[in-house]
A = this chain, B = another copy of it.
Amino acid sequence: MLNEVSSFLLIGQSNMAGRGYIKDVKQIYDEQIRMLVNGRWQTMTEPINFDRPTSGVSLAASFAGAWRLENPGRQIGLIPCAEGGSSLDDWAVGGPLFENAVFNAKLAMRISTLEGILWHQGENDSFGGRFKQYNDKLQVIITALRDELQVPEIPLILGGLGDFLADGRYGKYFTEFRTVNGKLLEFASTQPNTFFVTASGLTANPDGLHFNAVSLRKFGIRYFKAFQYRQNIEAATADENELIDTIANRELTKTEKINLLEISFASGTISLENCEAQLALLNAG
């Protein structure tokens, strides 16, 4: 059946693509959480947004998990189009990043209903006075995106930049990140159907640049709350850790267990004998 999937477009730079270490958090695996690959839905695994060899955990996984808790009988689809290191100028209308996002969203819209846009960007506009033009540039991009996709009122969720940026290895490049955070909040407060999510209290990988996996799980919950309640989220949400536990500890279906076994086998992680033995147990159970 067409349009049974609710889809979300993921755009921005590396902290939307996600650089959390896979090993640091429990996997979220749910047949009803899909991601767009070559214009078709696949069951989500991380990395979702493989723009670099360093891609890993993303905020989109727990966003989707939280969405699923509220929509137990339905499917969600993620459309990964974020690009590491991209500035707002890189997202200019007509450029490859913009066109790629529009194209993938349109492919997804053949088989789903687009319900939101998740945006995280700004590190690469946090110096040299770029903040002065930030909101004008962002508005041009978002307006064009809503126009091209014919979703004029679609919710846009914008996340803030991490508090850690000033002190990290690359701190000297991000001298104006607090100002950019102010601009993002201002944008959300003045634009229709646009909501800001704070990164307050979230922490980074050792690079002091990328949110770590544990923080990205929290950030995804905050993004979802902003979407769910159509409001800014300006402080950590009280139940974010509890929700993350609920999502990560969901009982897997038999099909999901089989699929994970097959992935382990095909990746060379377990032997054929081990795989077959575990499959036999599952099928007998």
Interface positions of A (Cβ within 8 A of B): 19, 21, 23, 37-40, 42, 45, 47, 50-54, 56, 81, 83, 95-97, 99-100, 103, 107, 110, 169, 205-207, 210, 263, 265-268, 271-272
Contacts and interface: CB of A to CB of B under 8 A. Distances in A.
Contact of A107 (B51, B96, B210): B96
B37 A83 contact: yes
B38 A207 contact: no
Contacts of A53: 45, 263, 267
B54 A266 contact: yes
Contacts of A54: 263, 266-267
Given A38-B81, A51-B37, A52-B42, A266 B205 contact: yes
Given A38-B96, A100-B38, A266 B107 contact: no
Contacts of A210: 266
Q: Which 7 A-B pairs have the closest CB atoms?
A: A39-B96, A50-B50, A54-B266, A45-B53, A38-B83, A39-B100, A21-B268
B263 A97 contact: no
Given A96-B107, A205-B266, A206-B268, 18 more contacts: A21-B267, A21-B268, A37-B83, A38-B83, A38-B97, A39-B100, A40-B96, A42-B51, A42-B52, A45-B53, A50-B50, A53-B267, A54-B267, A56-B267, A96-B110, A99-B107, A103-B103, A169-B272
